[in-house]
Amino acid sequence: MIRSLAVLTSGGDAPGMNAAVRAVVRRALDCGVPVHGVFNGYEGLVAGGDSIRLLGWQDVGGILPRGGTFLGTARSERFRLPEGRRAAVANLVERGIGALVVIGGDGSLMGAHVLASEWPEHLASLGLEEAPEALQVIGLPGSIDNDLFGTDMSIGADTALNHIVQAIDDLSSTAASHQRTFVLETMGRHCGYLALMGSLAGGASWVLVPEEELELRWHQKMVRSLRKSREIGRPHQMVVVAEGARHPDGLPIRAEEIRRILCEQLAIDVRITVLGHVQRGGSPTAFDRILATRLGVAAVDLLVKEPPGKLRHMLGLQKNRVTATPLAEVVEQSRRVAQEIENGSYGKAQELRGESFTRGLELVKTLSRIEPAEKSQGEGGVGILTGGADAPGMNTAVSVAARCLLNQGIAVYGVLESFPGLIHGRLRELGWNELTGWLNRPSSELGTLRHDVREEDLAKIAENISRHGLKGLIVIGGLGSYLNVARMVENRRRFPELDIPIVVLPATIDNNLPCTEFTIGADTALNNVIQVLDKIRHTAGATRRAFVVEVMGRRSGFLALLGALASGAEKAYLPELGIRLRDLSRDVDMLQESFRSGKRMVIFLRNEEASRHYTTDFIRRLLEEESRDEFEVRTAILGHLQRGGAPSAFDRILASRMGAFAAFSLADAMEQKYTGVRVLGLQGRGIGAFDLHEALAEMDEGLTRPKNPWFLELLPVAEALAKHGPGATV
């Protein structure tokens, strides 16, 4: 086992780096391995002295919500030279450090690779034959650009994307008020990920990314499209350009150029917003905190497990699993995209980015079409309804699904107020223009309502399907909606009108549905939860306080567990595990110990259905009784604020991808006269379609949650990090 390790952050800073450092430090201490923090990246490693310091459990307390990196980061010219790296080796050996965790972009990972490769020769020239033969190196992807091979997402990208989406929302409202057009420049020198996904989630009219080969007269096409868009009364236009976008001849496209073209050709008021460093800043999102924490813990676990000298890898998250890729491969493949763009091989560059990038680009183009296709399918169309409790992102799914259908000449009817709307015939035809404004709206514009379809409803539903000529149905909702659809399908023999293709999209903040790792709405709810928890943590003042916070989720512990992981809460009570008396007794001991060791605030998260009798109020009273006036106890029931607000970038992208998938597969089914019922799910990176009954068979007996929810594997991670270490603060 390694005797000691060091951790550093390098290159451009990224939100979530702190979470990664915290995870590395605490997991290492938990495993009995001392950890050194290297301040200011490789510069600190070269400088040595006070720049390399042992870190304790407490040193990484309170840093989860903070942007940037508390270790500091730098670009080091000295480290680029062999002499600088030799000094770094000497500094590591002097402290008995045999392993290094580097969090940064491709440059930083390259640096780590070079250092590990040169280790033996530096040892020889320093006369340090006693030192470990090899340096173990683990890289973690820290880059807001999301431009690294070997991971689906890099630490910081989700936060940056949310900043962009927020900026597009804000600019859209002012643009609409002034009939103004905006050009928004995002970061991404060689990578269009932020611009592309920002455009998809924000509803841009035109997007320019480095990976796409533009036509010679691309600007004429853009001008035509924006002119048409104004003519038909779209309230605003937005062009999103990645800083690395290029003309067909390879020269950079500047935002100012686009502004000038639009001003001259359209005689309109065009403003530029360059987002710049705002994208890097601010508190990390739940996704980034969890990603960073998972990777940080996995890095230490690997270092502890592997025999010395074996590791020179980057850990990433691929298909929602932690994977290790050799650093050399990560650096080479990541740089290949930039190289291909430089050589003008755009097709290859896009191929390297993966299928979802190309699909995303196609989808943005489909959605920025000015006019839907002429209706070609005769009378009737597709119905869309949002069922059960509302979830952020439902509107995005409706907007995208409906526009993809309209684009194929298929009319779309919005069913108002869920299944009761279908029963009572409250349907209205949806138009393209109104749908473009729905992308970012909270809740559901169509309305939601909980209702279990009953025997007497079936004939009325059949009648309305027939009256409106519905040839297909898209249902967006939670488990109640799944069951309602199942009921309709079971009765198809008696009511042949129900024999139409149906696609069901998982949408609930509870994340408790089968065949999908994430449901639409869960990410927004999780972010809502951690934002409140961050605030609660700052309310202790001079007193010691324990908070029992109740979160939603019904019989699924997703929000409670991931909320605890992302906020650093000390405990999560989950319905999957229930609450036992002996746990409570242990938790009371833990609480007292925490306060004794200097903590000022302890947060227990309790899922609303974690236990029938050990309620939130029961736990409050229990803790109060046991506090012996040493600390105060408060409760907070987060309630509906969890489902409020505009959907997060992740939810909008998930809803857009699922909406498009639903529309295309439904159109296909209608053409093939196939009347199956499919349930959509996100597994790994891909959206898949599953049989409804097979999906329901994946639920546990009481139909309360999937049998083996993937997120329970994060339980040990949450527990290890929340432990109160010696004299801990979170």
Q: How far is the CB of 653 from ligand ADP (least distance, A)?
A: 24
Contact set for ligand ADP, span 41-60 (CB under 6 A)? 42
Which two tokens mark 53?
């310091």
Nearer to ligand ADP by Cβ, of 42 and 482: the residue is 42
Q: Is 10 in the site for ligand ADP (CB under 6 A)?
A: yes
Q: Tell me the closest approach of the beta carbon of residue 585 to ligand ADP, in angstroms.
A: 48
**Which of the ranges 98-106, 246-254, 409-417, 471-479 carries the binding residues for ligand ADP, by CB under 6 A?**
98-106
Taking the C-alpha atoms of residue 730 and residue 720, their distance in angstroms, rounded to an integer, is 12
Q: Which stretch binds ligand ADP (CB under 6 A): 9-17, 26-34, 365-373, 529-537?
A: 9-17
Tell me whether residue 494 is exposed, middle or buried, using C-beta atoms within 10 angstroms of its C-beta: 0 to 12, 13 to 18, 19 or more: exposed
Residues near 569 by beta carbon (within 8 Å), at least 6 away in sequence: 533, 549, 563, 603, 604, 605, 722, 730
Q: Pick the stretch among 100-108, 241-249, 368-376, 574-582 that binds ligand ADP (CB under 6 A).
A: 100-108
Window of 108-116, 184-192, 473-481, 677-685 that interacts with ligand ADP by CB under 6 A: 108-116
Of the pair 115, 183, the CB lying nearest ligand ADP is at 115
How many angstroms separate the CA atoms of 184 and 207, rounded?
Answer: 10
The minimum distance between CB 98 and ligand ADP, in angstroms, equals 20
Q: How far is the CB of 110 from ligand ADP (least distance, A)?
A: 4
Single out the catalytic residue among 106, 145, 288, 301: 145
Give the range of 7-15, 225-233, 249-257, 677-685 binding ligand ADP by CB under 6 A.
7-15
Please name the residues in contact with 568: beta carbons below 8 A apart, sequence gap of 6 or more.
64, 537, 603, 721, 722, 730
| Largest distance between two CA atoms of the chain | 88
336 binds ligand ADP (CB under 6 A): no
When the beta carbons of 105 and 150 are compared against ligand ADP, the nearer one is 105
Q: Where are the beta strands (DSSP E) in 410-459?
A: 411-415, 427-429
Interacting residues of 660 by C-beta distance below 8 A, sequence separation 6+? 363, 366, 400, 401, 404
Q: Establish if 558 lies at the interface with ligand ADP (CB under 6 A).
A: no
At 244 the three-state DSSP class reads coil
244 token code pair? 């690395």
| Residue 244 binds to ligand ADP (criterion: CB under 6 A) | no
237 binds ligand ADP (CB under 6 A): no
Q: Which two tokens stand for residue 389?
A: 């409790």
Residue 25 φ/ψ, nearest 5 degrees: -65, -50
385 DSSP assignment:
E
Query: Any bridge partners for residue 633, and if so which?
Result: 546
Q: Strands, DSSP E only, in 419-501?
A: 427-429, 470-477
Question: Which residue has the closest beta carbon to ligand ADP?
Answer: 107
Query: How many angstroms separate the CA atoms of 711 and 30, rounded?
Result: 22
Q: Which is nearer to ligand ADP, 104 or 568 (CB)?
A: 104
What six digits make up the tokens of 247? 């003309």
CA distance 504 to 520: 12
Bridge partners of residue 520, in order along the sequence: 507
CB of 9 to ligand ADP, least distance (A): 9
Measured from the CB atom, is 120 or 437 closer to ligand ADP?
Answer: 120
Residue 16, interface with ligand ADP (CB under 6 A)?
Answer: no
Q: Least CB distance from residue 101 to ligand ADP, whole Å? A: 14
User: Residue 104 or 210: which CB sits closer to ligand ADP?
Assistant: 104
Q: Phi and psi (nearest 5°) for 414?
A: -85, 130
Number of residues located near ligand ADP, criterion CB under 6 A: 17
Picking from 387, 378, 401, 377, the residue whose alpha carbon sits closest to that of residue 488 is 387
Alpha-helical segments (H) within 252-345: 255-266, 286-305, 327-343
User: Which has the closest alpha carbon to 412: 472, 330, 494, 368?
Assistant: 472
- Closer to ligand ADP at the Cβ: 275 or 602? 275
Q: Work out whether 114 is an interface residue with ligand ADP (CB under 6 A).
A: yes
Q: CB of 92: closest distance to ligand ADP in angstroms?
A: 15
Least distance in Å: CB of 673 to ligand ADP?
53
**260 by DSSP, 3-state: which?**
helix
- 568 is a site residue for ligand ADP (CB under 6 A): no
Told to check if 521 binds ligand ADP by CB under 6 A, we report no
- Residue from 11, 150, 392, 421 touching ligand ADP (CB under 6 A): that is 11
**CA-closest candidate to residue 409, choices 443, 439, 381, 438:** 381
Site for ligand ADP in 67-86 (CB under 6 A): 75-76, 79-80
Whole-Å CA distances, 674 to 380, 476, 681, 690: 17, 20, 20, 15
110 is a contact residue toward ligand ADP (CB under 6 A) = yes
Q: Is 106 in the site for ligand ADP (CB under 6 A)?
A: yes
523 catalytic per annotation: no
- The distance of closest approach from Cβ of residue 153 to ligand ADP in the complex, given in angstroms and rounded to an integer, is 16
Query: Rounded to the nearest whole angstrom, what is the least distance from the CB of residue 134 to ligand ADP in the complex?
Result: 18
> Which whole-number Å values give the CA distances from 39 to 142, 369, 576, in the listed order?
16, 50, 41
Part of the chain binding ligand ADP (CB under 6 A), chosen from 61-69, 107-115, 361-369, 654-662: 107-115
40 contributes a contact to ligand ADP by CB under 6 A = no
Beta carbon nearer to ligand ADP, 110 or 533: 110
The SS3 of residue 318 is strand
Site residues (CB under 6 A) for ligand ADP, limited to 141-180: 143
Compute the least distance from the CB of residue 21 to ligand ADP, in Å.
15
105 sits near ligand ADP (criterion: CB under 6 A): yes
Q: How far apart are CA 704 and CA 578, in angstroms?
A: 14
| Cβ distance to ligand ADP smaller for residue 117 or 491 | 117
Residues classed as catalytic: 145
Q: In the complex, which residues of this chain contact ligand ADP (CB under 6 A)? A: 10-12, 42, 75-76, 79-80, 104-108, 110-111, 114, 143
